[in-house]
Amino acid sequence: MNYFPDEVLEHVFDFLTSHRDRNAVSLVCSLWYRVERFSRQRVFIGNCYAISPEKLITRFPGLKSLTLKGKPHFADFNLVPYDWGGYVQPWIEALAKSRIGLEELRLKRMVVSDDSLELLSRSFANFKTLVLVSCEGFTTDGLAAIAANCRFLRELDLQENEIDDHSGHWLSCFPDSCTSLTSLNFACLKGEINLASLERLVARSPNLRSLRLNRAVPLETLQKILMRAPLLVDLGTGSYVHDPDSETYNKLKTTILKCKSIRNLSGFLEVAPRCLPAIFPICLNLTSLNLSYAAGIHGSELIKLIRHCAKLQRLWILDCIGDKGLEVVASTCNELQELRVFPSDPFGVGHDAVTENGLVAISIGCPKLHSLLYFCQQMTNAALITVARNCPNFIRFRLCILDPTRPDPVTMKPLDDGFGAIVQSCKLLRRLSLSGLLTDQVFLYIGMYAEQLEMLSVAFAGDSDKGMLYVLNGCKKLRKLEIRDCPFGNMALLSDVGKYETMRSLWMSSCEVTLWGCKTLAKVMPRLNVEIINEHDQMEICAEDGQRVEKMYLYRTLVGPRKDAPEFVWNL
Amino acid sequence: MSPPLLGVGEEEGRGNVTLMASSSSLDSLCRNSYELKERNYMGLSDCSSVDSSVVSAVADETKSSSLNVKATELRLGLPGSPSPERDPEHCLPSSTQLDEKPLFPLHPLNDGHYSSTQKSVASGSKRGFSDAMDGFSEGKYLANSEVKVMLSPRPSSKLGLKAGSVLENLGTQPANTKEVAPPKIVQERPHAAIEPRASHNGSANSNSCAPATKAQVVGWPPIRSFRKNSLTITSKNNDEVDGKVVPGALFIKVSMDGAPYLRKVDLKNYSAYRDLSSALEKMFSCFTIGQYGSHGTLGREVLSESKLKDLLHGSEYVLTYEDKDGDWMLVGDVPWEMFIGTCKRLRIMKSSDAIGLAPRAVEKCRNRN
């Protein structure tokens, strides 16, 4: 079978970048498995409890880049208690003890401690990239360790983490010899920053291409930084507030004109709208604009800004843009591929919020749209059908109607047909989030049509177990299913237990599943971890099997029940 | 080009849906018999045979695989197994329920629907969902505004009503098999979050809930907490730190030298310095009367507004504010929006104390307005 020397195979495998392709390749035969595992440098682990660090290290001794995800997705919405798990420490310890030359670590929804960061910074001489998304448990002291000890650090990217800010000395910990930075993102830090250190750091980082500042960096400093880094491609402003008549602002205007490379713009955490014209000259080049934290830009100023951005491919915005604003987006940004509209007032009545009309306008003006996250006040079947027709290329379609069970306000019917049209039309759909009033019918449509669906998020939908059954039976490529507040019970849970080994995980909360159902499933499927989260003390050892389970999270694993589960998590 | 999905124009809101499968396969699927009607999902009156065969193949496959699985897995113990009393009545959609008339007449065909559209009809005292839906489809439901009233209180009524919601009365919620379970069980199972499904606690409460208060369901809307917190901070900062957490309001303390107590003003109520200063003048007039009186100049006259203005813009007082950095600044230098953004508190300072400020600044204050 082996016509080529191993080196040739390896060379061929080098062209495979997707981890799925490499996984597939390793299943062909034992020879390919061997060649692949020695040559693999990047590993993606979607659930840190599915495998152990030791097994990872054994299989991939050439590992350089590791991506780990911890908590379930619904942890983002406070549905998972604080110390549920997802600790990176055991991974870093294991890697540090081994001879792995780790260079990149990307973590999502994991608990990272300062000690972990310290250990990480000291254990890998060639460490280059640290990306933390939605993580927690560390402070700026941990960042200081990274800054001080990682001599060849290229990327430090902190996205939406909860970081305890012991104030800005960590920036000063970058040694003068550190000149390798290409990407620095500390926008999520809440505290003060040593501005002089920041300026000096930028000045000695000629390769800096991505810089995202936090709220504490004022406009004066932004101007000075841009003077030093005119080759920036990705910029996140900090505080963008100043007197438009001032000298500083005029200097900024001139400086920005030199920054012809900026393609990605974000930030504006604080903003004086009258200062926005300074960025108009670069708007034409922008392919990505994130104003989802810019609550200070509304109405006509926002629209004026958007009108300059004809080449946008990705736009993240707040719903204060309104339907009218979305019409402007539709007419201006014809290249748009990804749109996210976040609620600016999640619990309010939302006078300025968006409705189905805005989405329909977008679908008409932006035929290349393939990713959508849309928080709106209301949606109609007719609108969804129109959108489905206009944009058949959706890969991700996430719709969140703020009132969770709201029907079509025009017809008062459920939104089954609207979502049905989406899944029928968008044959490449991989991710779907539902909302609004929905019956079992929508799940029938999903089971029938959503053949490529990998992730489905459901809340307050369905009438009976059949809903869940349709999905489990019909969506062959389903990997992640998360359900809350739906009337799905044991029958649905137990109807196809083998299915769960083909998936990464299943989350069910506030459904009709009982303890008996979960225990049964756990007994039959030893390679699943079926975890019950009990936050109330009601469920003790004498819990009745008939009692409904508040939160269940199950996932396939090769290493059995985890040993770091807290008291309130039961592994059945 | 593929045929248009669900001709919107002619089928506004009715969404013809084509799901074609043979009745027999569906019959075998569930213990219940429900008929399958040919649905024209694509909005066409006739589908090509290719489409229909493909669709029916998918449907068949779906149904049959589900059937097979059911055959192999259901014996894990649901029907007839020694399972707790709750399960049989809970997990099995009983055939009697599923034969009930559909609660969501999605299609113009009112007879025979997929069982998915059939719901257990509420029993007894609860207003049946189908009744409610009939009410809707007959156009009996209220005008939009009233409907909104009914719809919006749902979250608030759900939250805190741990054992259930009041949705039946709204008639827009699908009832589910849970309804048939004895009410007792429903009440024993509190939801931590909204309970959208019908329950036996339904009453007329929903209509009496205040529509204005939208209660907050745990984890809804699904926004990352980091983002939620950030937006709160941002809106606070854009209005002002030290402000109350009332959305849109920005209360800051105002002190006046010599006054026995402080006041609070909502900076959001004003759009320019002039408005603010006249409001402050009005607010502190009582104190200045006293002050003035003690100087023996005006005696017991009630100070008119204009005289008060003169007072404040005379040499007596200077309006200053403390900004985010903790520095005391003269009010009026920066644009109003920036001022709102940086002002933490106000102080009506005696001119004699304002010696630290440039005399020109005091002059500025005097000459303003």
CB proximity A162 to B under 8 Å: yes
Show the tokens assigned to A474: 């019909």
b/e B164-173 (16+ beta carbons within 10 angstroms → b): bbbbbbbbbb
**CB proximity list for B178: less than 8 A, separation 6 or greater:** A487, A512, B90, B186, B197, B198, B199
Show the tokens assigned to A539: 């469920």
Would you mind telling me the total number of residues written for chain B in this entry? 369
Show the tokens assigned to B172: 């827009």
Q: Rounded distance, CA A363 to CA A428, Å? A: 17
Burial class (CB in 10 A: 0-12, 13-18, 19+), A41: middle
CB proximity A15 to B under 8 Å: no
B129 has a pLDDT exceeding 60: no
Burial class (CB in 10 A: 0-12, 13-18, 19+), A458: buried
Closest CA to B190 of A535, A436, A191: A535
pLDDT tens digits, A234-280:
999 989 988 888 899 999 999 999 999 999 999 998 888 889 999 99
On chain A, the residues whose CB falls within 8 A of the CB of B90 are 489-490, 512, 514
Ranges A177-191, A273-287, B158-172, B277-291: which has the least confidence: B158-172
pLDDT at B60: 43
pLDDT tens digits, A362-403:
999 999 999 999 999 899 999 999 999 999 999 999 999 988
**Chain centroid offset of residue A206 CA:** 29
A543 has a pLDDT exceeding 60: yes
On chain A, the residues whose CB falls within 8 A of the CB of B136 are 412
Q: How confident is the model at residue A88 (pLDDT cuts 50, 70, 90)?
A: very high
* A440-467: average pLDDT: 95
pLDDT tens digits, B236-291:
555 443 333 334 557 788 888 877 778 888 787 777 888 888 888 877 776 654 44
Show the tokens assigned to B299: 């005696």
pLDDT tens digits, B278-312:
888 877 776 654 444 344 444 444 444 455 555 55
C-alpha torsion angle, residues B350, B354, B359, B361 (rounded to 10): -90
* Cis peptide upstream of residue B79 (ω within 30 degrees of 0): no
| Cβ proximity of A39 and A22 under 8 Å | no
| Cβ proximity of A88 and A116 under 8 Å | yes
Question: Rounded to the nearest 5 degrees, what angle is found at the Cα of B119, between the Cα atoms of A465 and A404?
Answer: 70
Q: Cα distance from A89 to chain B (closest Cα, Å)? A: 23
Q: Can you give the C-alpha Rg of chain A in angstroms? A: 25
SS (H, E, C) A139-187: EHHHHHHHHHHCCCCCEEEEECCEEECCCEHHHHHCCCCCCCCCEEECC
* A100-108: average pLDDT: 96
| Cβ proximity of A294 and A215 under 8 Å | no
On chain A, the residues whose CB falls within 8 A of the CB of B165 are none
ipTM score: 0.87
Beta pairing partners, B253: B264, B345
Test mutation, B67, B76, B136, B191, chain A, max A CBs within 10 A:
B76
Per the CB < 8 Å rule, is A403 touching B228? no
Identify the sign of the CA torsion B242, B243, B246, B247: negative
B93 has a pLDDT exceeding 80: no
Quick one: which H or E segment has residue A536? none
Q: How confident is the model at residue B107 (pLDDT cuts 50, 70, 90)?
A: very low
Ranges A469-473, A475-479, B222-226: which has the least confidence: B222-226
C-alpha torsion angle, residues A392, A397, A295, B216 (rounded to 10): 150
State the DSSP code for B3. P
A313 has a pLDDT exceeding 80: yes
pLDDT at A186: 95
Alpha-helical (H) ranges within chain B are: 23-29, 49-73, 86-91, 95-98, 129-137, 144-151, 153-158, 167-170, 183-188, 205-208, 225-239, 273-283, 285-295, 305-313, 336-342, 359-367
pLDDT at A569: 86
CB proximity B65 to A under 8 Å: yes
More reliable by pLDDT, B260 or B221: B221
Q: Rounded distance, CA B288 to CA B314, Å? A: 12
| DSSP letters for A272-283 | -GGGGGGGHHHH
pLDDT at A474: 94
Q: Rounded distance, CA A37 to CA A32, Å? A: 8
On chain B, the residues whose CB falls within 8 A of the CB of A494 are 73-74, 76, 78
CB proximity B152 to A under 8 Å: yes
Identify residue B332 by its one-letter amino acid code: G
Q: How confident is the model at residue A420 (pLDDT cuts 50, 70, 90)?
A: very high
On chain A, the residues whose CB falls within 8 A of the CB of B240 are none
A413 has a pLDDT exceeding 50: yes
pLDDT at B338: 82
pLDDT at A63: 95
**CB proximity list for B171: less than 8 A, separation 6 or greater:** B127, B129, B131, B132, B133, B135, B136, B141
On chain B, the residues whose CB falls within 8 A of the CB of A482 are none
Per the CB < 8 Å rule, is A460 touching B196? yes
Q: By three-state DSSP, how is residue A488 classified?
A: coil
pLDDT at B28: 42
Average pLDDT across chain B, whole number: 52
Task: Say how many CB pairs under 8 Å bridge A and B.
Answer: 280
**Chain centroid offset of residue A448 CA:** 28
Identify the sign of the CA torsion A536, A542, A547, A548: positive
Show the tokens assigned to A159: 């996205």
More reliable by pLDDT, A324 or B324: A324
pLDDT tens digits, B56-71:
444 444 444 444 444 3
Q: Cα distance from A315 to chain B (closest Cα, Å)? A: 16
| Cβ proximity of A107 and A73 under 8 Å | no
Closest CA to A196 of A188, A204, A206: A204
Q: Rounded distance, CA A157 to CA A244, Å? A: 31
**CB proximity list for A248: less than 8 A, separation 6 or greater:** A219, A220, A223, A242
Q: Rounded distance, CA A36 to CA A404, Å? A: 47
pLDDT at A94: 96
B176 to chain A: nearest residue by CA? A463
CA dist list (Å): B32 to B96, B99, B138, B334? 8, 7, 29, 74
State the DSSP code for B204. T
Q: Rounded distance, CA A127 to CA A66, Å? A: 12
pLDDT at A168: 63
pLDDT tens digits, A513-522:
999 999 999 9
A489 has a pLDDT exceeding 50: yes
CB proximity B73 to A under 8 Å: yes
- Count CA within 13 A, CB hemisphere, residue A204: 13
pLDDT at A17: 86
Quick one: which H or E segment has residue A20? helix A19-25
Burial class (CB in 10 A: 0-12, 13-18, 19+), B355: exposed
Per the CB < 8 Å rule, is B218 touching A78? yes
Average pLDDT across chain A, whole number: 92
pLDDT at B249: 59
A318 to chain B: nearest residue by CA? B231
CB proximity A332 to B under 8 Å: no
A383 to chain B: nearest residue by CA? B8
Q: Which of residues 262-291 of B touch A (CB under 8 A)?
A: none
CB proximity A205 to B under 8 Å: no
Closest CA to B43 of B77, B79, B88, B9: B9
Q: Rounded distance, CA A31 to CA A8, Å? A: 13
Within A305-438, strands assigned E span: 314-318, 338-342, 371-376, 396-401, 431-433
b/e B190-209 (16+ beta carbons within 10 angstroms → b): bbbbbbbbbbbbbbeebeeb
Residue with tokens 């950095």: B325
Per the CB < 8 Å rule, is B116 touching A439? yes
Q: Rounded distance, CA B13 to CA B34, Å? A: 24
Show the tokens assigned to A197: 């250190």
Q: Rounded distance, CA B60 to CA B19, Å? A: 11
Identify residue B55 by its one-letter amino acid code: V
On chain B, the residues whose CB falls within 8 A of the CB of A542 are none
Closest CB to B172 among A404, A412, A448: A412
| Cβ proximity of B78 and A494 under 8 Å | yes
pLDDT at B349: 85
More reliable by pLDDT, B366 or A200: A200
Percentage of residues in chain B with pLDDT exceeding 90? 1
